[in-house]
Amino acid sequence: MSKKIFSGVQPTGNLHLGNYLGAIKNFVDLQKDKDNSCIYCVVDLHAITVKQDPKILKKNIRETTASFLASGLNSSKSIIFNQSKVPSHAEGSWLLSCVARMGWLNRMTQFKEKAGHDKEKASVGLYIYPVLMAADILLYDATHVPVGEDQKQHLELTRDIAQKFNTDFNCSDFLKIPEPLIQKDFSRIMSLRDGTKKMSKSDPSDQSRINITDTKDQIVNKIRKAKTDSKPLSENVSDLEGRPELKNLLGIFSSLQNQDLDVSTKEFAGKNFSELKEKLAEVLVEKIHPISNEINKLLKDYKYIDKILLEGSIKAEKISKKKVSEIKTKIGF
């Protein structure tokens, strides 16, 4: 069955292994199927829900685009663009925010985590962030959305918004109800310093994550220092419960090798952590280092990157403008 794919990544600093294995690697796999039409967005409007330095934001938009291309996305097969270039996203977001309910947004765990203790000081944008995400997806009639586990709740909200719009305006099937595509075993890559915490750009310790632009030495060092426990490696996947660091390292290894977690678990059964770490560092360098080399090459020619974004935004604008216009007609404008 042909799929309409839409996904986005925020341009907020270096992408890390969680972004790569949880999302971008899947974007590339989906692009390989000729029946799919794929749209991948650098979601810069989402990035400004927290304060950004304008010069750094501009650099990060190009860097995230370069990471897409270096990982294997191809602008002749997929539409690649940045959200702020396509005004329909902001317009669609307003229209849908009048359908979304406060009670739904109040349940969003990511807002609670990001806003921290002092919710009063969080931007209104951070609060309504999931509505913009719903607009991103619904304006392109996306049927499938590849994301990491942490975005599952936002996808459920998107589905609720679409369903309510269709009911309120008596137009069943007008806004398409999208399905999340979440990688089974590797949907949540965890911190290298604490296997119970998500690998994240906002963790103050750089040792907690592998950045897609890390050097070989940095990768080897971070894996060497990654937290472990003191037991030999488990024999079975079921024994990984309660051993979050081991599960994470084996998960990363499996995802990079495109093999099931139980195959990797058997491969290292009874061995020491040092053997797993050595092999994992080797595979990481082999897979990640060419991407970081390519990013550096691409960043030397930012005009090329800007051209890709401009061409992508023209295509995206054409599709989303039509949908916004249809939404407005349904509403009565």
Least Å from the CB of residue 269 to ligand TYM: 25
Q: Which two tokens stand for residue 246?
A: 């081991």
Side chain identity at residue 260, one-letter code: D
Least Å from the CB of residue 271 to ligand TYM: 25
148 neighbors 114 (Cβ within 8 angstroms): no
Among 4, 5, 14, 23, binds ligand TYM (CB under 6 A): 23
Contact between 81 and ligand TYM per CB under 6 A: no
Binders of ligand TYM among residues 116 to 135 (CB under 6 A) are 133
278 neighbors 226 (Cβ within 8 angstroms): no
Contact between 8 and ligand TYM per CB under 6 A: yes
183 neighbors 189 (Cβ within 8 angstroms): no
- Rounded distance between C-alpha atoms, residue 165 and residue 163, angstroms: 6
Among 4, 14, 19, 91, binds ligand TYM (CB under 6 A): 19
Least Å from the CB of residue 150 to ligand TYM: 5
> Which residue is it, tokens 């902001």?
90
Among 69, 100, 148, 211, binds ligand TYM (CB under 6 A): 148
Among 4, 10, 166, 211, binds ligand TYM (CB under 6 A): 10
Annotated catalytic, 114? yes
Q: Which helix (H) or strand (E) holds 215?
A: none
Contact between 137 and ligand TYM per CB under 6 A: yes
Among 189, 226, 240, 298, binds ligand TYM (CB under 6 A): 189
Calculate Rg over the CA atoms of the chain. 20
Side chain identity at residue 237, one-letter code: V
DSSP state of 191: P
Contact between 143 and ligand TYM per CB under 6 A: no
Q: How far is CA 138 from CA 62, 148, 241, in A?
A: 25, 19, 37
Q: Is 146 helix (H, G, I), strand (E, B) or coil?
A: strand
Q: Is 122 helix (H, G, I), strand (E, B) or coil?
A: coil
Q: Active-site residue among 77, 176, 201, 216?
A: 201
Least Å from the CB of residue 81 to ligand TYM: 12
Contact between 195 and ligand TYM per CB under 6 A: no
Residues in touch with ligand TYM (CB under 6 A): 6-10, 18-19, 22-23, 43, 46, 133, 136-137, 145, 147-148, 150-151, 154, 187-189, 198-199
Q: Known catalytic residues?
A: 114, 198, 201
